[in-house]
A and B are shown apart, each in its own frame.
Chain A
Amino acid sequence: MPKVKVDGVELEVPAGATVLQACELAGKEIPRFCYHERLSIAGNCRMCLVEVKPGPPKPQASCALPAAEGQEIRTDSEMVKKAREGVMEFLLINHPLDCPICDQGGECDLQDQSVAYGRGGSRYDENKRAVTSKNMGPLIKTTMTRCIHCTRCVRFSEEIAGVDEIGAIYRGENMQITTYLEKAATHEMSANVIDLCPVGALTSRPYAFEARPWELKKTLGIDVSDATGANIRIDSRGREVLRVLPRINDDVNEEWISDKARYQVDGLTKRRLDKPFLRKDGKLVPVSWQEAFSAIATLNPGNSIAAVAGDMVDCETMFAAKKLLGALGSSLLEGRQTGMDYDCSSLAAVNFNSGFNGIETADAILIVGSQVRTEAPLVNVRLRKAVKRGAKVFLVGPAWETTFGGEFLGEDLSVLNQLPQHVWDALSGAKRPAVIVGGAGLGRGGLEASLSIAGQLKLVRELEDGSTWNGFNVLHLSAARMGGLMLGYAQKGGIADLAAAAPKVVLALGADEVDFTKFANSMVVYIGHHGDKGAHAADVVLPAAAYTEKNGTYVNTEGRVQLSDKAVFAPGDAREDWTILRAMADAFGVSVGFDSFEELRAAMAAEVPALGVEGLADYGQDLPAGGGSASGVIAYPIKDFYLTNPIARASAVMQQCSAELLHGEEIAEAAE
């Protein structure tokens, strides 16, 4: 632990810290462009210059200089100020003065720092460098003249994303950032380079010229496009969500989000259900809420009612529906829309027990039936980190392009019954072994066989430091899954049990992946926000709120309970889901026991206490023994990463991504 002096104040810094980090610990702000906490150190922008003694009598780049015992660092001397002003002047030589037409304006590192270190005017009389803008696909808009060559985007794609697709070609002042032959960036996390870019060189294409940052209302939300529960900031203006940005949460998403989480939001204004519909003579006809509820009141289902929860609903909605069904005397609840029927009697057996932070430290990982890159891009980033630390990864399932290497053991689940010797040796020799069972690995005995492996490998163990390691992980695909399982949205036989019960009424809570032909004799009441498959099959459509339009509790695949806030109002006549269910209780003439959202939340916390506390829910560490044999060829559930949910399917941006990036269609670009 070296002791250093920063501007005369002595402090102790952690071993291995850089001078820049030491200055930050001392509360000094160091301007920087190329340095980023989560990327490797490049040291090429030179903005973070400080004066360090002992050392050469000139300013030094603090980001790349290790803090050493007895250093005297000055961040406020005349020399430092002059040096930084010099660097800023050089950076601005070739940077266009186009802030008024630049989308980065207002949230631009260069703009902010030039206020502190920039000269009042330019001394540069020559022509500025001009660089042709590069195509980087439908999500990233480039204006490469603005690039200051910090190479954050290059380092992100190489180190975090694991796809070498962005590079710096040519040299010196001719250096240009580009993708190879200007092909579109295709990684699922590619748009994070927009946040990383300290200037306006890489900006968001769908958000181009939409708004200035200071016009936007910022709301803290949770992403529902996959089960990782990424923390997001919802930026809205008026009634429209304009963009979604990641929030920093080191336990969940660090500071990244997937492209789908970021760009599906334009789907929130398209194909929306904004008034109730009733099916009359085979056609859905718009009606008023009054008509809709009077029609529902005539259904009189008694206890012959079932509820199916969709992939993106919040816990409050599911709880309200559960209460409604309970009041009617039914417990036919199911959330696994596609018909999965794995055993949910122990929630620890269907949870990502090691946590996202934990999986980074695993040293041998067996992945069963998960195409992690598309199912949970943020977990993929963690796996890549684990492999960089030396973890060995084995995968069961059809081969896909991993970003972390790994060995594929075959497409058939039966390999779990008798793992190859070298795999077994690697897993049993590991200190922190882990198994990840994905959506495709849960069925056909996969979960039980994996649990049996977990038992034999003793995945739940005491580590040397006394902490408990639980390496058994299930990676779900839908944001509502863990919350649904905690609320009892699981029948023994899955959704087939519901179909077998042939209920008079089926409540579809944003459920769009259900095979409704199995409920041909039931009245389907769809409560959701998009006119997608569920609404098409429904007899009554009640317009509800999407995830940005209601307060909600979500539980991610690690069992982390997180709260999301309401950013905007739902369009038209649409109402928040719980109010619809509450009104439905009146229509059926039963009481659900809550009249306000607060009462609903309190009732939910009383019934499932874990849902009332933010943070990891405790499911215990006892895994069922499992056993039995698994067999069958794995087929991954996600065929099209960009179109997995009704919001994304309605989004023009996601449709364009799917067409151009996955199906190789010609780039449809308007003449600019």
Chain B
Amino acid sequence: MADRYIEPDTPELRARWGNFAWTPENADKAKDVLSRYPEGRQRSAVMPLLDLAQRQVGAEENTQGWLPIPVMEYVAAYLDMPIIRVVEVATFYTMYNIAPIGRFHVQVCGTTPCMLRGSDDIISACKKRGMKAGHITADGLWSFTEVECMGNCASAPMVQINDDNYEDLNVENFDKVLDALARGETPKAGTQDPNRHTVEPTGGPTTLTAMVSENHDYRGEW
């Protein structure tokens, strides 16, 4: 598991983020989020609000976004809850970045199905571009994390880049995706195999073939 550490609380960090506040747009969103929880249970909104704060930081920095200490304090004050409880949540869930992050956070799945389908090649492709764990590339574009199963084993190997999954990767089409992202384009999310629509079996179904054309009742055949 990747070692994660909170970005230290420095005067520079305070100067940069000390006066963080919701943008008018996000203030409305935050109110909307709060209204989803019953009276007296507003603290439950800490997770969506941390995500919102992370996205706002990301929009300001043109990165995926992360949670500096003063921003966590702002969320804690907004929800009137002890700051240590917010830090507990933010450090527990890996979707919250607690240290600065690049424009694109490339999370490569390295669990067994992806590994068998070639995630090692994907990882070395990442390394070729200078990505390594806990590090932002010099151009500020890439951050890299090797993660455990993201639940896309049927279209392994896969990576998650910010909010999108890219599946059925090999070194060529993965490079294409990264190049497109670097150019500022938005490549098609999901499978990168031109012969596949989603995660249907490649080359046609091999099981439950009778179900393709009609609602076949198999029970009599068991």
Contacts and interface: CB of A to CB of B under 8 A. Distances in A.
Interface of A: 164-174, 179-181
A165 B84 contact: yes
A167 B82 CA distance: 10
A174 B88 contact: no
B87 interface: yes
Contacts, number: 33
Nearest to B84: A167
Interface of B: 1, 3-4, 6, 9, 69, 82-85, 87-88, 91-92
Contacts of A167: 84-85, 87-88
A154 B92 CA distance: 16
Per CB-CB distance, the 3 closest pairs between chain A and chain B, nearest first, are A164-B82, A167-B84, A169-B91
Main secondary structure of the interface of A (DSSP, over half): mixed
A165 B91 CA distance: 16
Contacts of A168: 88
A168 B88 CA distance: 6
Contacts of A173: 1
Contacts of A171: 91-92
Q: Among A164, A165, A179, find the residue whose CB has the most chain B CB atoms closer than 10 A.
A: A164
B98 to A, nearest CB: 9
Main secondary structure of the interface of B (DSSP, over half): helix
Contacts of B88: 167-169
Q: Among B4, B9, B88, find the residue whose CB has the most chain A CB atoms closer than 10 A.
A: B88
A166 B4 CA distance: 19
Contact of B1 (A164, A165, A174, A179): A174
A164 B85 contact: yes
B87 to A, nearest CB: 6
A180 B69 CA distance: 10
B87 A169 contact: yes
B87 A180 contact: yes
B2 to A, nearest CB: 9
A130 to B, nearest CB: 12
B84 A170 contact: no
Nearest to A157: B84
8 contacts: A164-B85, A167-B88, A170-B4, A171-B91, A174-B1, A179-B84, A180-B82, A180-B83
Contacts of B83: 180
B1 A172 contact: yes
Q: Among A168, A172, A180, find the residue whose CB has the most chain B CB atoms closer than 10 A.
A: A180
A262 to B, nearest CB: 24
Contacts of A181: 9, 69
Contacts of A170: 4, 91-92
Nearest to A180: B84
Contacts of B85: 164, 167
Contacts of B82: 164-165, 180
A217 to B, nearest CB: 39
A137 to B, nearest CB: 15
Contacts of B84: 164-167, 179-180
A180 B82 CA distance: 10
A174 to B, nearest CB: 7
Nearest to B5: A170
A168 B91 CA distance: 9
Contacts of A169: 6, 87-88, 91-92
Nearest to A170: B91
Contacts of B4: 170, 174
B25 to A, nearest CB: 30
Given A170-B92, A180-B84, 18 more contacts: A164-B82, A164-B84, A164-B85, A165-B82, A165-B84, A167-B84, A167-B85, A167-B87, A169-B6, A169-B91, A170-B91, A171-B91, A171-B92, A173-B1, A174-B4, A180-B83, A180-B87, A181-B69
Nearest to B9: A181
